[in-house]
Homo-oligomer: A and B are copies of this chain.
């Protein structure tokens, strides 16, 4: 699908691709065309970096296809994955929060396609395009809510519950139905899961093995399929043991 989409999108940007996205939903055909005029398109492959924490925020982005991983790195080199952003959302919107540098690093969790605009257009977008700001702040609010959930989990839950929660969230947000169950929509390693849950990849590996034996998940290299989501829900709710 990625390739098919790329083939459609790259030769000539198709306005129907972005017309339905929340920040642009209320715009006229003319406005959509205008937006596309200004946009740079970029095809990215897994692992590509869009921008790094601390860099001057000179562009903002719309993800058309794929997933973006938002990452922060501690002084001693440990990564923490703060968030995953699905296709159809804006990111790198430091300007919306009156910042002039990016607060985190953004990289492609899988191959994908992004549009981007210079930040100098931000004020034009927010002034002229009805709904743009509202929808932007709605998704800021949602991301804050998600961070909050993770904060609570890290503060109060056990590793097992946190991992169960992360899998459930990813499956809800990005899941694709397969014959076995629901698969997380992008490649993901044990290391990634550990960086999302604040534990070691060893613990993740052990738990996934155990869950695989129990028939709750199935996983291949970089792929995780959840077969019995409800079992995970129960695990994530069990206070301890």
Contact = CB atoms under 8 A, between A and B. Distances in A.
Contacts of A195: 155
B152 A74 contact: yes
Interface string A59-75: 00000000000001011
A151 B96 contact: no
Contacts of A82: 148, 151
Contact of A140 (B78, B97, B152, B239): B97
Interface in A74-120: 74-76, 78, 80, 82, 96-99, 103-104
Given A103-B145, A145-B103, A72 B140 contact: no
Interface string A137-169: 110110011011011101110000000000000
A76 B152 contact: no
A129 B137 CA distance: 19
Contact of A151 (B135, B140, B150): B150
Interface string A173-197: 0000000000000000000000101
Contacts of A156: 74, 78, 80, 198
Nearest to A141: B97
A172 interface: no
Contacts of A76: 239
A134 interface: yes
Given A96-B137, A97-B137, A137-B97, A148 B104 contact: yes
A141 B98 contact: yes
- Number of chain A interface residues as a range: 20 to 34
Contact of A154 (B96, B134, B138, B155): B155
A237 B197 CA distance: 21
Contact of A134 (B98, B104, B152, B155): B98
Interface string A202-241: 0000000000000000000000000000000000010100
Given A97-B137, A97-B140, A151 B151 contact: yes
Top 6 nearest A-B pairs by Cβ distance? A97-B141, A155-B198, A98-B138, A154-B154, A80-B155, A78-B156
21 contacts: A72-B148, A72-B152, A74-B152, A76-B239, A78-B156, A80-B151, A80-B156, A96-B137, A97-B138, A97-B140, A98-B138, A98-B141, A99-B141, A103-B144, A137-B137, A140-B140, A144-B144, A147-B147, A147-B148, A154-B198, A155-B198
